[in-house]
Each structure stands twice: as C-alpha cells, then as structure tokens.
Amino acid sequence: MIAYWGPLAFHGRSSLVKYMQEKLSGINTVAMDVETISLKDTTPVGFSLAISPTESFYITLYPEPDEAMPWDIICSPAVKKVFHNSLFDLSAMEDYEIYNSNIEDTMLMAMLLGYPAGLVDLTALLLPGMEVHSMGEYLTPKMTTLDLSVEQVSVKCCQDSQATFALFEELLHLVDLDYYSVEKQLIPILMKMSSRGLLIDHEVREQLEIQYTEDMNYYEALCVEAGMMKPGSPQQIGMILAKRGNMLPLKRKFNERKDKWEMKISTRAEDLEKLSDPLAAAVIGYKHARHTLSNYLVPWRSRPRAYTRWHLDAITGRVSSTSRNLQNIPSPLRSMFLPDNECFTIWDASQMELRCLAYLSQDKTMLEVFSHDPESPDGNIHQKTANYLNILKKTAKNVNFAMIYGSSDEGLAETAHIPSIRRAHQLRESWFNTYPDAARFIKLTQDEGWNDGYITTLYGRKIAMPTNLESRAAVNRKSINYRIQGSAAEIIKRAMIRCRHLPILLQVHDELIGDGDLSEEVRSLDLEHMAPLHIPYQLIVSERWT
C-alpha cells in the first residue's frame, strides 16, 4: 500500500504512485520515519518519506514491501535522510540496506541543544502548531501496530516524518554544526557494531547457566527458610526485612502504566548492602543470579551470537547499550564470547575520567602523578591517594571515583564502604587538601551548574542541569559527574571515529574491544595524543574477552 498525507487528493493508486515518483525524482533530502510491530519486535511494518513539512508518503513493508517501493531513494548515498532517533530506525530497516553515512538525526541535534529528546515533546516546544502523537495514544500495553488499521499507522508515520523534516530545518540553524558533525560520524560505526555481534561459546554458556541456576536456588532456599517465599517481590522483601528490624528506604518511582509518580520500597543492591542482616545478602545474591539468567544466559540458549543495540541518547553523551546491555554484563560472563578471528584486541584508556579532572582543573599534584608512566608506582593515582590519605589502595580508588561522581559525605561512605559518615567527611576534606586545585574546580563546577543551569564539557558541549526539578545537592552531584563523564565520553567517541576502519565489536566505558590482532593498527593511530590531554592506552591481545 502507498498512502499520502498532504494538501492534495488522489483518485486511484496509479495517479498517487506517479505523483510520488515525480516528487522523489532528483530530490536530495527526505525525512524518514519507520513504524515497527512494537519496541520489542522491531520488524518494520512501514515507513514514510517526507519531502517537506506538509507532504509525505507512506509505504507498507509488512507482510511484503509494496511493489512501488522507492529503492533508489532509500538506498542512495546521494539522498540525505533525516531521522528522529536514526539508530533505532536504521536497525529496524537493516535488511533494506539503507545507506547510513548520509544521515541527519533531529534527536541528536535536540540533545546537543539541551532540548527534550522525544519527538512529541520537542515538536510541542519548537513547533506548537504541528500535530504529532505518541504511539501510546493508539495502543494499550498489550497491543501492537498490527492491531491498528493501515490508515492509522500511515497517518501517524507521515505526521512524524513531516515533524522531523520541520524540526531539521529549525534545529539546523541552532546546533553547533562542527560538534554535531563529529557526533554524526558515530552512527554508521554503531550500526556496524549492532549488526556484528559476538560469537557465543555454548559450552561455556551452559556451564555458566548451571552455576547461576545453582546460585539462584541456593539463595532462594535461604530466603524461603527465613519466611520470604518470594525473594523477587519488593513488597515481601521490605515486609520480611522490616519484621527483622531492618528498614529499606522509600523512593519515588514513575509508574508508566498509571502515568504518575509513586513512593516505592527500594530494593536496589546498594540499599540492601547497607543492612547487616544476612537475609539482605541472600536477597542480593538471588536477584543477581536471577537477573543474569533471565537477561543473558537463558535468552542466548539457541542463538549463535549475542547482539546489543547501541545508542547516543545518554544525557552525558556516553554511548549506551540496551536489549542485552553488554556494557554492564557481569564480568564472569565475558568468558563465553569468542572472537571470529582467533583473538580479541582490547585497548583500554588509563584512568580517563581522573585524567580529565586533572586537565580541566589543572591540579598540580594530579598532573605530576599523571606525568609518569601509569604502570609505575609514581604514576598510579590510586596508590598516591592511598599514601597521601594513609588508607588502603582499594579504599583510595573508591574515594577518587566518588569525587568525580560528585558524592556527598553520605555518598562517599556508601561508595567507599566507609562505616562512618564522620570518617567519610574527614576523607573528603583530606582529599580536597591533597588536590586543592581539583577541589576548587569541583566547587566552581557545582556553582556553575546551579547558577547557569548547565555545565560545559572538554569539547564545548553544554549539558543542562535539572535545577527546576531537583535539589541543590542533586544538581551538585550531577554537575561535576556530567562534566567529567561527558568529557571522557567525547574522547572515547573520537577514538572510535579514528578506529572506524577497524572491526570494533564493543565499547565498554573507557575501553574498545576489536576482533583479531589489531595491536599494530591501533598503535599506528596514536590515540594517546589525539585529545588535548595525554591518555595512555593499555593494549591487550587475548583469546577471550577479559
């Protein structure tokens, strides 16, 4: 089916197809939107091409592509295609081989400007007279687009592509084009990573499934013995622990089904870890084992490769991973992946976030430490901090990272496992005295985040702070964390761009994992001197991802 959304009326399919072909002939820019069966089942049911903010065409793909499919447009490198969240739409259309190096993305542009990322909210802000709707207005939680009429889907899809076209014209004059052009280069890189995946060693996977199943059953038995029949139920966890004299905190959580905020018992591991009750430790063990089984090991039983979806929608600018998050996969599970070409090459940036703090603050003590080889005692910032503060190296590492996370005394006590808030305060003060320039920088950044409503990263990205939604303490934490984390993200993304000709499999925080022995190629790229600050990289060639 071909449908049209615009000011004209057509009588019969042939006249509409002819008009579409005429309008698309010689065109150099279209806005494109894809509708899938659901967010989980990303089989595309159809897509629309907007040629202006007021005209668009819808072409069905499911169950079969319409015979008038404009292949020459969607596959042409000469035609610029504008998406709102290109990585999702391009992934859904992967089988159609859309040329992905001439792509614009209005969601990415909006995020760089500190605007809402959602199409509906963004359109309401910048184009209040334009009609767009969320899919939630059409579907109940159990429905998919296959439950809607083709006409309903086509109208929504065409409205979305027209709004995308209009937003592109609006945002193009506002965004920093130099910065945006760098970010755009990541789109085809992340598309390749998403489609490549990782080969699974099923003998190792089966062994891990047995191990985690035994762990889950063991911890479940401990919970049941203590009267907790459902250790996965937050209500039961909270009730049983409260009866034993251990109270878990209440925290606000948004209920999407009811579309409102609610107060819920927090059963996060970090809150359970604060309790001395051995039952809390059993709940943590049970939840971790069950999560690992249900999110990784069981879904991959019959799959030859593990895949994830890569995104550019993290507020700090970090590359993120969903649909089997391989960035946060438990370390023991890394052993079940195999390279396609004999070995993995892992290039890991050394203490990137702390180096960003040292460079941005120009802290003399930190810069002196980082002037040495990171493998030497004089170049190890965690050992130096341990010596300065007279604490264990493991504690010093936690303290160092707590500082760039903007932790309060309470947060430091939690992160570094310090039993006393008073002791945590002492360590914070000692750290500030040890690194006085970094301390001044942290305070200045927190003041800027609160007073200006944004912070600025190493390469000039402005990240908005939620000053009208959150407390001063929360904004203080986010101001320094976003500035450091955002700066580190900019460096690793530029490293990915420099390595784009290599078979990159994963990006995990400050490291890249590639397929095959790429050590010589990586060394030749001189990643260490790519950024304004020196970032040493440790290169590891291994048969397994470690």
Pair (136, 33) in one structural domain:
yes
The pLDDT score that the predictor gives to residue 278 is 93
Report which DSSP code applies to 248: P
Report which DSSP code applies to 273: T
Q: Which of 184, 216, 245 is the last residue of a domain?
A: 184
Could you identify the residue written with the tokens 């600025």?
456
Cβ 507 vs Cβ 492: under 8 Å: yes
Pair (64, 180) in one structural domain:
yes
CATH number, domain containing residue 112: 3.30.420.10
* Residue 90 buriedness (CB in 10 A; 0-12 / 13-18 / 19+): buried
Backbone angles phi, psi at 369, to 5 degrees: -65, -45
Cβ 123 vs Cβ 106: under 8 Å: no
Give Cα 353 distance to the centre of its chain.
Answer: 17
Q: Which of 150, 184, 218 is the last residue of a domain?
A: 184
Q: Which of 247, 278, 306 is the last residue of a domain?
A: 306
Q: Is residue 537 one of the residues assigned to a domain?
A: no
Pair (207, 161) in one structural domain:
no
Please give the structure tokens belonging to residue 336. 């079940």
Q: At a CB cut-off of 8 Å and minimum separation 6, what does 67 contact?
A: none
Q: Residue 513 is inside which H or E element, if any?
A: strand 511-515
Pair (168, 229) in one structural domain:
no
Pair (109, 177) in one structural domain:
yes
Q: Is residue 499 one of the residues assigned to a domain?
A: no
Pair (55, 180) in one structural domain:
yes
CATH number, domain containing residue 227: 1.20.1060.10
Q: Is residue 105 one of the residues assigned to a domain?
A: yes
Q: Is residue 58 one of the residues assigned to a domain?
A: yes
Q: Cis peptide leading into 374, omega within 30 of 0?
A: no
What is the maximum span of the chain, computed from C-alpha positions, in angstroms? 83
Q: CA torsion sign, 251 to 254 to 260 to 265?
A: negative
Could you identify the residue written with the tokens 């605007």?
115
CATH number, domain containing residue 388: 1.10.150.20
Pair (158, 225) in one structural domain:
no
Q: Is residue 206 one of the residues assigned to a domain?
A: yes
Q: Is residue 312 one of the residues assigned to a domain?
A: no
Pair (228, 179) in one structural domain:
no
The pLDDT score that the predictor gives to residue 259 is 67
Pair (19, 137) in one structural domain:
yes
- Print the SS3 string covering 455-512: EECCCCCEEECCCCCCCHHHHHHHHHHHHHHHHHHHHHHHHHHHCCCCCEEEEECCEE
Give the integer Cα–Cα distance in Å for 194 and 185.
Answer: 15
The pLDDT score that the predictor gives to residue 411 is 85
Residue by residue, pLDDT tens for the chain (546 residues) are 999 999 999 888 999 999 999 999 989 999 999 999 998 899 999 999 999 999 999 999 999 999 999 988 988 999 999 999 999 999 999 888 888 889 999 999 999 998 999 999 999 999 999 999 999 899 888 899 999 999 999 999 999 999 999 999 999 999 999 999 999 999 999 999 999 999 999 999 999 999 999 999 999 999 999 999 999 898 899 999 999 998 888 877 766 666 667 778 888 888 888 888 999 999 999 999 999 999 999 999 999 999 999 999 889 999 999 989 999 999 999 999 999 999 999 999 989 999 999 999 999 999 999 999 988 889 999 999 999 999 999 999 999 999 998 888 888 888 888 888 999 999 999 999 999 999 999 999 999 999 999 999 999 999 999 998 889 999 999 999 999 999 999 999 999 999 999 999 999 989 999 999 999 999 999 999 999 999 999 999 999 998
- Helix and strand numbers (H, E) in the chain are 21, 19
Strands 80-83 and 103-105, by their bridges, are parallel
Pair (290, 383) in one structural domain:
no
* Structural domain that includes position 268: 199-306
Pair (387, 282) in one structural domain:
no
The pLDDT score that the predictor gives to residue 252 is 74
Q: Is residue 203 one of the residues assigned to a domain?
A: yes
Pair (180, 205) in one structural domain:
no
Q: Is residue 264 one of the residues assigned to a domain?
A: yes
Please give the structure tokens belonging to residue 237. 């966890």
Counted domains in the chain: 3
Task: Count the helix, strand and coil residues of the chain and give each as a percent rounded to the nearest 5.
Answer: 50, 15, 35
Cβ 402 vs Cβ 412: under 8 Å: yes
**pLDDT tens digits for 441-487?**
999 999 999 999 999 999 999 999 999 888 999 999 999 999 999 99
Strands 260-265 and 250-255, by their bridges, are antiparallel
Strands 309-311 and 29-36, by their bridges, are unpaired
Cβ 284 vs Cβ 269: under 8 Å: yes
DSSP secondary structure string, 306-357? E--EEES--TT---EEESS-SSS--GGGGGGEE-SSS-EEEEEESSHHHHHH
